[in-house]
Amino acid sequence: MTDNTALAEQLEQIVGERFLLRRKSDLLVYNSDGLPGYRRMPRLAVFPGNRDEAIRVVRTLAEHGAPYVPRGAGTGLSGGALADDIVLLGMHRLKRVISIDRENLRAVVEPGVVNLTLNRTVAPLGLIYAPDPSSEAACTIGGNVAENAGGPHCLKYGVTLNHILSITAILPDGEIVTLGNPEGETAGYDLRGAFIGSEGCFGVALDVTARLTRKPAAIRTMLADFTSVDDAARVASAIIASGIVPAALEFMDAPTIQVVESSVYAAGYPADAAAVLLIEVDGIAEGVDADRDTVREICLSGGARTVKVAQNDAERTRLWQGRKKAFGAMGRMAPHLVVQDAVIPRTRLAEVLAKIREIAEANRVVVCNVFHAGDGNLHPNIPYNADNPEEAGRVHRAMGEIMRACVAAGGSITGEHGVGLDKIGYIELIFSPDSLGAMCRLREVFDPQRRSNPGKVVPIHSCQEWRATPARRASEHVPGAGVAS
């Protein structure tokens, strides 16, 4: 990076003194994201307040050749929004809902709009923005786009990729481009698709046109409880195989149920169950009633003790609260938490869950499984004390073994959290050098100097050319190594 002081002064002139942080004490709060094990200290943090400021900030960074890390609300769970001695570019102040087009089911928003805010804005119109990450009360649409965020209801409605029509982005060199088309039709390469999920490595969004969805006419939410994890896993597969596409199909195991029920988020889950499935079907009322009955039958014939159906919105909200706040509830078990995001073929759920149990026992760790069973998107969580090196070592080993078991089952290393720093050491398990090289080529078209979120997603050694960046060489990161820091 060029002269730090000159850069800071120029940035400060753009955003004002309050929104340019350079003191270590001010920057500390930005040294981690939602996966607190990784700590990286930014050199500067800059928070533009509007579109014009954001453009001027990025162009100033380009003039200085300064690398930077875009950041939304910092709720990411992969260590992706961390700036290691470089500039952190916070976009959360760009939070205008620019327009809502009820008839055409479109919303144009700035990147800092919080996911739930958009949903609350469109709810009175009978509309929803379908992607619903569990952090929806805090995470931003810009962050959703960067990570291609998912959520429980993505089983039926699709992930962020399926709901973004266009993006106005500012590229790392300061050029402003429109990717996709707000009207829906595009010719040429799907650059919008390439940008979504690029984890901030291709630039930052200035505004996003999102597709809205009509709120379903009817929703039925069920909780099925099981005395056997295997039965619950098999039933999850059976529901999908039956042809019903549930709006959501979530799995929680006994340790998760117990910690949720002993917290303020208690949802009325049966505390003695080995596992519960939270299942939602939606659509036209007559159809969902038939689906509800089919699901109930599959659950009961597959070993469920009971299937409770929410009778009203309050009951539905309560059932969901336990699921959405499960990660938070785990804070009661230990001071730190590590969560994984592997995806496996749905038919191998029971087998992989058994393998996870084996790994947990062998490493003497407690795994809380709470995940999107319908997608096969696992979230094994291990609460632990990161200040105990011996325990941390066992946790890291278990996490690595679990990831390898998921890959061996034909899976992927991340379903919705992104690669970031956390999984960069695993990406070579699933992609060949040539495939990773192609990803580098793609990245370099957007960001030839690799200044936007350097050192993330694809290991630098996978790219043919070495170009030094101030960020630490990605290949030096050992999976899970940051967790204990």
Under rule CB under 8 A, which residues in 393-432 are in contact with other proteins? 410-419, 423, 427, 430-432
Nearer to other proteins, 88 or 413 (CB): 413
Which residue blocks in 95-158 are alpha helix, DSSP H? 115-122, 141-147, 154-157
Nearer to other proteins, 94 or 344 (CB): 344
- Please pick, from the candidates 61, 69, 204, 240, the single residue that binds other proteins as defined by CB under 8 A: 240
Q: Which of residues 85-104 bind other proteins (CB under 8 A)?
A: 101, 103-104
Residues 88, 98: Cα–Cα separation, whole Å:
25
> Edge-to-edge, what's the strand order for the sheet holding 20-21?
20-21, 44-46, 87-90, 68-71
Q: Output the CA–CA distances (angstroms, integers) from residue 476 to 221, 300, 433, in the order listed.
A: 46, 50, 17
- Please pick, from the candidates 110, 225, 253, 375, the single residue that binds other proteins as defined by CB under 8 A: 375
Helix or strand (DSSP H, E) at 446: helix 433-446
Residues 481, 476: Cα–Cα separation, whole Å:
10
Nearer to other proteins, 24 or 214 (CB): 214
Contact 443, 458 (CB under 8 A): yes
Residues 145, 159: Cα–Cα separation, whole Å:
10
Q: What are 80's two structure tokens?
A: 């992706």
Nearer to other proteins, 186 or 306 (CB): 186
Q: Which of residues 152-191 bind other proteins (CB under 8 A)?
A: 154, 158-159, 161-162, 175, 177, 181, 183-191
> Edge-to-edge, what's the strand order for the sheet holding 304-309?
304-309, 218-226, 275-283, 248-253, 368-372, 380-384, 336-339
DSSP symbols for 222-279: EEEEES-HHHHHHHHHHHHHTT---SEEEEEEHHHHHHHHTSTT-----TT-SEEEEE
Q: Is 193 in the site for other proteins (CB under 8 A)?
A: yes
Nearer to other proteins, 48 or 182 (CB): 182
Listed ranges 219-227, 235-243, 257-265, 310-318: which one lies at the site for other proteins (CB under 8 A): 235-243
Q: Which of residues 277-336 bind other proteins (CB under 8 A)?
A: 283-291, 294
- Please pick, from the candidates 439, 460, 471, 483, the single residue that binds other proteins as defined by CB under 8 A: 439
- Please pick, from the candidates 196, 229, 276, 463, the single residue that binds other proteins as defined by CB under 8 A: 196
- Please pick, from the candidates 144, 148, 340, 453, the single residue that binds other proteins as defined by CB under 8 A: 148
Task: Give min distance, CB of 386 to other proteins, in A.
Answer: 26
- Please pick, from the candidates 82, 278, 436, 463, the single residue that binds other proteins as defined by CB under 8 A: 436
Task: Give min distance, CB of 404 to other proteins, in A.
Answer: 14
Contact 133, 149 (CB under 8 A): yes
